[in-house]
Amino acid sequence: MGEFAELWRAVVLGLIQAATEFLPISSSGHLVLAPELIGDDISSLTFDVALHLGTMVAVIAFFWRDWLRIIGSGVVDIVRHGWRLKQWDSYSLLGLWIVLGTIPAVVVGLLFKDAIEENLRQPWLVGTMLIGFGVLMGAMDRWGGTVGQLLDVTPGRAVIIGVAQAIALVPGVSRAGVTITAARGLGFDRAAAARFSFLLSAPAVLGAGVLQFSEALGSDETLSWGPLMLGAFVSAVAGALVIRWLLAFLQSGTLWPFVWYRIALGLVVLSATAAGLI
């Protein structure tokens, strides 16, 4: 493959990753179709690393004020109050609940990552999950509460949303989609549900990025540093823009445009599978 072609694919995959990682429409549902659109003779390791790094930068950089407040107040409260949580600031507790909500995905990922990669990436399953969890998202958006705000997260709610994030390891479910769905079902308004979903993703995205990069350094496959850096840059910038747009959209919009999109994409994936195209 020529250098220009790899750079072009870095841009395309970076844009796909940015949009599908942060919108509730499933990155795996799109990436299963990407090889058919732009070819499959691509350095998978290079672009796995690039897209994880870009996503990590986007979610950390966009919410930098939240992270400073969470970490700053957390350090102060630990020094002043120890583990007397009733005396902690709301943002200190939010940071603790984010850590708690991350545990299910870490446990499931460590135990079942290889099995998921080997057995659950069939296009028919991706299509089915796109449709099934899209319908569930629509139901929770229609009948879910609208009063819960970001600082209303509790340990129980964090664990439930964290379990939903673990389920998203199944391709086609969508991490953003299922965590927003769970939060809506627990009574959070749309913007707060999305915001907590993004904050909760940070530890998982950071861990995945570090793991991918360490695997890359120890692999026999040669990393293409030019496409890697370009893909990471595009993914980071576009990802931050997507986050900003979605949070603004959900102030007054609903999740139903994403529900219909998921159903349509799922039908495309299932049709292409039945026709032997993927």
The pLDDT value recorded for residue 113 is 77
Residue 225 tokens, joined: 């540093």
Residue 206 phi/psi, 5° resolution? Answer: -60, -45
Q: 252: domain range?
A: 3-274
- Report pTM: 0.90
The DSSP 8-state label assigned to residue 229 in this structure reads: H
Mean pLDDT of the chain: 87
Instruction: Give 41 or 177, the one with higher predicted confidence.
Output: 177
Please say if the pLDDT value at position 211 is more than 80.
Answer: no
Cα–Cα distance for residue pair 115/106, rounded to 1 Å: 15
In the chain, the amino acid numbered 30 is: H
Average pLDDT over residues 135-150: 88
DSSP, collapsed to helix, strand or coil, labels residue 188 as strand
Other beta carbons within 10 angstroms of residue 55's beta carbon come to 26
Q: 61-100: b or e for each residue (b if 16 or more CB lie within 10 Å)?
A: ebbeebbebbeebbeebeeeeeeeeeebbebbbbbbbbeb
Q: How many domains does the chain have?
A: 1
DSSP, collapsed to helix, strand or coil, labels residue 148 as strand
- Residue 221 backbone class (left: φ over 0; alpha: ψ -120 to 50; beta: rest): beta
Average pLDDT over residues 43-56: 70
